[in-house]
Amino acid sequence: MATTKTLTIEERLRNIHSLQEIDSQIDGIKVLKGELPIEVEDLEDEVKGLETRMEKLQDNMQALEDELSNHKKNIATSETLIERYKTQLDEVKNNREFEALTKEIELQELEIQLSEKKIREVIAIKGSKTENLEESQSKIEAKKAQLDAKKDELAKIIEKTEKEQTKLTNKSEKARKLVDERILKSYDRIRSSYRNGLAVASIERNACGGCFNRIPPQVQIEIGLRKKIIACEHCGRILVDNEIAGIVTQED
């Protein structure tokens, strides 16, 4: 930083003000984008979450289909066994065999009733899951449409501003090299403290252009002399006079 150590206070003030102007233009581009990048990211996360839920519902539906198939197979097996036992009834030789076959038929009929009950339950659950699936699909389609619109809007802004932002970022990096390291640290700290990123302010109507608190006349004179770097006692912003700020004042 040998080159910055030899700079006068006025040169340092001009350099830090120039950096602020460049960074404020970059901030303006970011404001133009607004909350779009965050909104796009949030919508992408929301769509991903809905798709994960959709996949789980589809897995559940498949499991229900498998369960239905198993119950239907059980019914078919029981019906086959009943037919077999009924055929065997014609060939029984004693009451014990008759009772045993009759009992087996009754058991298989109970199995059929149980499977039919389970099928009704599964069908009811499937109906509810189908509604959830349709609702989820509608939500995904709506969110994707929203996401596409936001992406398109952001892409148009980026297309218009990308070159300008890159150009300004390069200018900002070069301008930072002309600023004393100690001042630069204060500048970055102050910028990060305020939403508008304003770390260097001019005097506007006898007040700080950042926080709008009154600046005493004697302090204004000292700022105009450019003999030392003066910060606003209220907000900490670096103060520069109108000439450095490029503000033209009208003489009475």
- For residue 1, is pLDDT > 70? no
Under CATH, which number does the domain 33-174 receive?
1.10.287.1490
From CA 203, how far away is CA 217, in angstroms rounded? 11
DSSP 31-78: HHHTTHHHHHHHHHHHHHHHHHHHHHHHHHHHHHHHHHHHHHHHHHHH
Q: Is the Cα dihedral 208, 212, 213, 214 positive or negative?
A: positive
Domain positions in the chain are 2-32+177-245, 33-174
Q: What is the pLDDT of residue 251?
A: 44
pTM: 0.57
Confidence band, pLDDT 50/70/90 cuts, at residue 152: very high
From CA 47, how far away is CA 63, in angstroms rounded? 24
- pLDDT tens profile 92-107: 888 998 999 999 999 9
| C-beta separation of 235 from 198 below 8 A | no
Range of lowest pLDDT (84-93, 111-120, 229-238): 84-93
Domains 2-32+177-245 and 33-174 share a fold: yes
3-state class of 214 per DSSP? Answer: strand
| C-beta separation of 74 from 119 below 8 A | no
Under CATH, which number does the domain 2-32+177-245 receive?
1.10.287.1490
- pLDDT tens profile 4-38: 778 899 999 999 999 999 999 999 888 888 888 88
